[in-house]
A = this chain, B = another copy of it.
Amino acid sequence: MTPDEFRRLGHQLIDWIADYRSKVATLPVRSAAVPGAVRARLPATPPEQPESLDALFRDLDEVIIPGLSHWQHPSFFAYFPSNGELSSVLGDYLSTGLGVLGLSWQSSPALSELEETVCDWLRQMMGLSEAWSGVIQDTASTSTLVALLCARERASGYALGREGLQSSGKPLTVYLSRHAHSSVQKAALLTGIGQAHIRFIDTDAHHAMIPAALEESLAADDGKTTPCAIVATSGTTTTTAFDPIRAIGEIAARRQIWLHLDAAMAGSAMILPECRQLWDGVELADSLVVNPHKWLGAAFDCSTYYVRDAQHLVRVMSTNPSYLQTAADAKVKNLRDWGIPLGRRFRALKLWCLIREQGVSGLQARLRRDLENAQWLAGEIAKTPHWRVLAPVQLQTVCVRHEPPGLDGASLDQHTQAWAEAVNASGKAYVTPAILDGRWMVRVSIGALATERQHVEALWDLLQEAAA
């Protein structure tokens, strides 16, 4: 495609996306597509001859859009928000359009240096000390895998340079709460630590890890295993519970165990000074992950991974074949040695554009709006008969159940799943059912960019209708 054709179609695309964002509120939030419906409308074989992309926009409207659940919809209350702020979208457009690649610093100096800069901006915004260095990964799943790989190598005395995990002595064990995200367990398994050596620590009434239970678990392993890592969570997926970092960090420090903090969701909130007590003790962690591509508004994918010992990270991750060596290597950071992939997109641009266009104050204002909306909804639910808020609303997620008289156990579960499905099938809002303490409930995760109070009010009406 020539630059001139790109210009013509590109303008069309910008208008199409602007129109999409303008009208997204009128679309059903969750797609009504049935399995296989989209694929059935696509050609089973690739086109032999070039096609005009003018047909593309028709296919998007007719085939793709009906097959999408709309994450940028103001009534998207499912999962956690994945906000693609339009300023950040433009930053990502620059990255893709420039088509430059980071393999080494030399292969695109500005790509590396802007990444260092914006990661440091975000560090300052979250009130973290200068001891932290950051890098952009794709997702928290990957960041946590990188953390556990680094923990494994520290606990094993860098076994990968010798005979590997198999010859590293006593079994390595990993400690996480029962409410840690599924990706933590997955990461532990992928590092080579078996299911039998993952310790699920009990949580308190608010679903936060109990430090005494962690101590007990560690004591039970004393002499039998080598504790490899403790993973604490700031903002669990089910209820946005906050593990007590300081108490956990003190245990980790005393026993010299790697502490990784999964703040994928709640890290964004730390740009609000009033929220920072929620991760009190964060400086005791060895590594942490925050996903600006969630609530903060960076276009997906943009997960920031921070470490205190960057040299250790590089030691675990580095490779240095001749074809990647450059004269600048001694003087620069080669970000390929800060994670798993060799090549990297110019992802810093989307964070750069977001922070500049919104300003720290603009980002703070939006997050405060969402916190207030969540408090408002929790208040309404709490004062309504037969409705219950099931967990402290410390962030922007409200866990709710309708508990009409006469229902409990399996019948209550059926009721919950039925009204949640009714809400989602209506296309008017999208919420996530999940299991809490053995019973189904519904998570209302507030914080899509477009979600104003009126949308939360409409949701509350809808929940009551659906459950009635």
- In the bound complex, how far is the Cα of B319 from the Cα of A1, in angstroms? 41
**Closest residue of B by beta carbon distance from A21:** B3
Q: Is the CB of B159 within 8 A of A194?
A: yes
A299 surroundings in chain B (CB, below 8 A): 96, 99
Q: Would you list 13 pairs from A and B whose C-beta atoms are within 8 A, ordered by A residue? A: A3-B18, A3-B22, A20-B98, A42-B113, A46-B121, A56-B356, A67-B108, A67-B113, A68-B111, A71-B101, A101-B300, A139-B343, A145-B340
Binary interface encoding of chain A residues 186-203 relative to chain B, with 1 for a CB under 8 A from any of its CBs, else 0: 100111111111000000
Is A70 positioned at the interface, with any CB of B under 8 Å from its CB?
yes
CB-contact partner of A321 in B56, B138, B149, B182, under 8 A: B182
Is A4 positioned at the interface, with any CB of B under 8 Å from its CB?
yes
Is A39 positioned at the interface, with any CB of B under 8 Å from its CB?
yes
Identify the stretch in A79-87, A209-217, A249-257, A400-408 within 8 Å (CB) of chain B at 4 or more residues. A79-87
Q: Which interface class (under 10, 10 to 19, 20 to 34, 35 or more) fits A? A: 35 or more
- Shortest A124–chain B CB gap in Å is 6
Q: Is the CB of B182 within 8 A of A324?
A: yes
**Closest residue of B by beta carbon distance from A45:** B124
Q: Is the CB of B163 within 8 A of A194?
A: yes
CB-contact partner of A67 in B11, B109, B166, under 8 A: B109
Which residues in window 304-353 of A have CB below 8 A to B? 317, 319-324, 327-328, 331-332, 340-343, 345, 353
A39 surroundings in chain B (CB, below 8 A): 113-114, 116-117
10 cross-chain pairs, A with B, having the tightest CB-CB distances, nearest first: A164-B194, A67-B110, A84-B99, A17-B97, A192-B192, A165-B192, A10-B14, A46-B121, A182-B319, A50-B359
Which residues in window 178-237 of A have CB below 8 A to B? 181-183, 185-186, 189-197, 237
**Closest residue of B by beta carbon distance from A320:** B182
Is A358 positioned at the interface, with any CB of B under 8 Å from its CB?
yes
Which residues in window 66-123 of A have CB below 8 A to B? 66-72, 78-79, 82-87, 89-90, 92-94, 96-101, 103, 105-111, 113-114, 116-117, 120-122
A161 surroundings in chain B (CB, below 8 A): 194-195
Identify the stretch in A30-38, A282-290, A376-384, A388-396 within 8 Å (CB) of chain B at 4 or more residues. A30-38
Given the contacts A51-B359, A87-B53, A359-B48, A82 and B99 also touching, CB distance less than 8 Å: yes
Is A141 positioned at the interface, with any CB of B under 8 Å from its CB?
yes
Q: Is the CB of B345 within 8 A of A301?
A: yes
Q: Is the CB of A162 within 8 A of B6?
A: no
